[in-house]
Structure 1
């Protein structure tokens, strides 16, 4: 098993996407990339901690490659808006990759270079040093599978991301392979 860490805006949204990817064993929402130890959701949302809402996922590289995860990451969020995803605005919602080793860093650089021509605006996704990881509070974990189904924001934002995953990566989607 290997680990990947991505920030693509709201962690509820990216968690929902990667929970549906075959080969991803676990997705944890949390905070990374900032300067405050043990931040709370309220502190991170305030925008002063330097942390990003992020996900840390454990995956089986024999089933899904890091390169595939990067492709899914870039396809299911907008990597061209600086410090923003939809209505979420601030550095805590930045698009960032936190490589766990040199191979992941090289793959992230290559993915950004490959994707540069496919977007109407430049990709602003940053590649940042792996930093301390702080799991989000329990109520944020597996959010889409519970409370998120009743949250109007999630109901507006997550289904289109899942549809994009299931359309573009049908062979990689747990739900698409069952349907």
Structure 2
């Protein structure tokens, strides 16, 4: 299913599209933040229409596993989302996050406006002080959004530690995030 970032809805909400490795991890982080109305897992930045998870996993479609975040800028700013994004994955790893390897796991920001592009550059510059290695997160043009299959939506919240990957990778990342950002969490 295609869905543009400009989907009608609550006029107060804005859209952020971020790729930081496995979308199960990224979705689980942003779902818990105050000011975030919804998070959808999907694919963007590639050249194949309506890609499937299996196709994206080959690394040959050009897509990144990403999340589309609808947020209320009166409650959380785009800059705050970017700062949290760059702090909750390793933006110094090129085309990978840990054992997830390939361009589909790249660290990328897909700004939806020139203002978001400027914020992305500023966020990367701010975050560089926290990393010894250079940040390799790319800022890529907005591209068609393809919603991931239903089984990937809210995956961690549905499956959790029943999946060994979630036990080893997602759970520790979510726990660390929740400790660091406790005051920013939804009730």
**TM-score bucket of the superposed structures, by smaller chain:** over 0.9
Cα contact 1:165–1:173 (8 A) shared by 2? no
Q: Is it true that 1:168 corresponds to 2:153 in the alignment?
A: no
How many angstroms apart in 1 are the aligned matches of 2:127 and 2:69?
22
Give the aligned CA root-mean-square deviation in angstroms. Answer: 0.9
- Equivalent residue for 2:55, pick from 35, 43, 49: 43
1:103-114 equivalence runs, <5 A: 103-114=115-126
Per the alignment, residue 153 of structure 1 pairs with 165
Give the counterpart of 1:101 among 113, 128, 152. 113
Of 139-148 and 49-58, the range deviating more from structure 2: 139-148
Query: Is 2:30 the partner of 1:18?
Result: yes
How big is each residue's C-alpha offset from its partner over 1:146-174, in whole Å with a ceiling of 9 and x where there is no partner? 12431110111112222222222221112
Q: What are the Cα deviations for residues 21-62 of structure 1, in whole angstroms up to 9, with x where unaligned? A: 111110000000000000000000001000000000101111
Matched residue pairs, number? 175
TM-score normalised by L of structure 1: 0.95
- Taking the aligned partners of 2:179 and 2:135, their CA distance within structure 1 comes to 22
Aligned partner of 2:142 in structure 1 is 130
Tell me whether 1:144 sits opposite 2:156 in the alignment.
Answer: yes
Q: Find the partner of 1:53 among 65, 82, 103.
A: 65
For 1:121 and 1:50, the matched residues in 2 are separated by 25
